[in-house]
Structure 1
């Protein structure tokens, strides 16, 4: 159960990227340069690049691991090729940031983006930027603890119901 909740943030991030990708693909009008600049600024202030900084090496490693499993005799070659592929795609993760900026521009007008930039530069916005990661981390920790406790209650209920049926587990 704990493993599920450890991967939940990553899964949500991947899902959000997929939805943002499909949303931007459906966008009929390209975002204005001003909107994109403002959205990039917001994302930079939120330091979101940290979330996807290791996307390329992670995906390269994942692909290599998968290929090694079915080609054990090529492990050394695949290790060498992984370095070449990772180098070739260095910087490719920046596309994620651009996609995220486009998603912001799809959801907010140019004026709203400008207002958001101003907000994040305000004292309250700066406090939000500083405190939000801790608040999210605390929220996730609470959710994980709640889920573990609730899972224990549910398991106990299963055991009680099975005991009533004469099938103790």
Structure 2
């Protein structure tokens, strides 16, 4: 699970980098656009794809994690209520347990907006082939290694950038 969390963090970084190339106004427009209704078959295929990708592992602990974050935020300003807030956190987590499934439903709706019903069905068929099965099994590792490579490259490139800054500042008579 720890390696999956690292993959998710890396995927989040990759997504952030990818989105940084899109103009902010375009991002806001896309985020504000309502999702179009999807057929039951499209949603079913999207959910099947997400199940094949084990997407639920990404958000399985969303409710307890958010409850814990909220509790910790409240504790910062209410230290004298620590015992009560710890007890209430258990109650709130139990009350809201299962709500993370809303994330899966939302993800399925997003897939159904990005792909046609037939495309989703074709993807399900593909993921059931030997190559599709291999992709599902190998992709998390490939993403993890890609993110590791990207981090190493960024560290090395940052040193290059630092040297360029220092050289340019030296030319100006302002060594740093």
| TM-score, scaled relative to structure 2 | 0.80
Match of 1:82 among 66, 85, 89: 89
Consecutive aligned runs of 4 or more in structure 1 exceeding 6 Å deviation: none
Match of 2:35 among 9, 27, 32: 27
Distance 2:70 2:12 in 1: 18
Could you tell me whether the CA contact under 8 Å between 2:11 and 2:143 is conserved in 1?
no
Range moving further from structure 2, 71-80 or 132-141 = 71-80
**Structure 1: runs of 5 or more not aligned:** 1-5
Distance 1:163 1:55 in 2: 50
Residue in 2 that maps onto 1:3: none
Could you tell me whether the CA contact under 8 Å between 2:43 and 2:112 is conserved in 1?
yes
Match of 1:41 among 35, 39, 48: 48
Cα distance change on mapping 1:87 and 1:47 into 2, 3 Å: same
Could you tell me whether the CA contact under 8 Å between 2:35 and 2:110 is conserved in 1?
no
Q: Which residues of 2 match residues 128-147 of structure 1 at below 5 A?
A: 128-147=135-154
| TM-score, scaled relative to structure 1 | 0.83
Residue in 2 that maps onto 1:9: 11
Shift of 1:85: 1.0
> Deviations along 1:4-26, whole A, 9 cap, x unmatched?
xx95634648xx9x98x947x61
Shift of 1:67: 0.9
Distance 1:146 1:93 in 2: 35
Distance 1:136 1:8 in 2: 8
> Deviations along 1:49-101, whole A, 9 cap, x unmatched?
11111111111111111111111111121111111111111111111110111
Residue in 1 that maps onto 2:124: 117
**Number of equivalences:** 159
Residue in 1 that maps onto 2:105: 98
Residue in 2 that maps onto 1:62: 69
